[in-house]
Amino acid sequence: MGYKVGDIVRMTNTYWYGNNGESREDIGKLYVISEVHNGKYEIRKLSSGSTSAWWHDNQLEYVREAESDIFEQLDNIQDNLRKKHRTMEFIQENFPDHMPATSWLYLFERIGYDSSFNRNGEYFILHNDIMQLYPVFDCIFKKDLDKALENVDKVFKPSYADKYKNNVIRFYNELNVS
């Protein structure tokens, strides 16, 4: 069909087609086309403003044209969610199963870790970082500093471990020492 920027579309299929049990929960949800690249689309979710790229015509279905201020509305929604997802109250209530990328990146920031996801946007990289660092944060939230520090040694090279240990101790104390 060929969509244009500002078209509201419904997702009708995902990249993954469910071959490996991937989530298909976005099917049926509404998005707006935000960019067009050689016949592929970048879309933004109407409920959150989040962006996803490289969608094809056969994965989307035209619904209607968006209002003229749709991108401003989505920016506001996204900013408000980002602020909420960067609070320790939200993170502690949702750790680890219901945490968006913004929350994980905030936790990484708190211990001084800069995920390469910040530079390249590849969710595979973020997923790997989460899997590696999850045990550290799990121990912090379970108030087991010694185990958290042991996990730092397992995750980071010795030349970096001390830096991260100091940051983990500081973060742990901020959360657990009143």
Answer whether residue 12 shows pLDDT above 60: yes
Classified as helix, coil or strand, 54 is strand
* pLDDT tens by residue, 37-81: 988 999 999 999 988 888 899 999 999 999 999 999 999 999 999
What pLDDT, on a 0 to 100 scale, did the predictor assign at position 8? 97
Answer whether residue 178 shows pLDDT above 70: no
The encoded tokens of residue 47 equal: 């409920």
What percent of the chain is predicted at pLDDT more than 90?
Answer: 75
Answer whether residue 21 shows pLDDT above 80: no
The encoded tokens of residue 32 equal: 């707006």
Domain residue extents for the chain: 7-73, 86-176
pLDDT averaged over every residue in the chain: 91
* pLDDT tens by residue, 72-120: 999 999 999 999 999 999 999 999 999 999 999 999 999 999 998 888 7
72-76: long-range pairs with CB below 8 Å, 24+: 74/32, 74/44, 74/46, 74/49, 75/49, 76/49
158-176 and 145-155 helices, crossing angle to 10° = 150
What pLDDT, on a 0 to 100 scale, did the predictor assign at position 54? 85
Q: How confident is the model at residue 143 (pLDDT cuts 50, 70, 90)?
A: very high
Classified as helix, coil or strand, 36 is strand
Spatial distance between the Cα atoms of 178 and 166, rounded to a whole number of angstroms:
19
Q: Which CATH superfamily is domain 7-73 in?
A: SH3 Domains (2.30.30.40)
Spatial distance between the Cα atoms of 130 and 126, rounded to a whole number of angstroms:
6
The reply to whether the predicted model has a pTM over 0.85 is: no
* pLDDT tens by residue, 113-140: 999 888 877 788 999 999 999 999 999 9
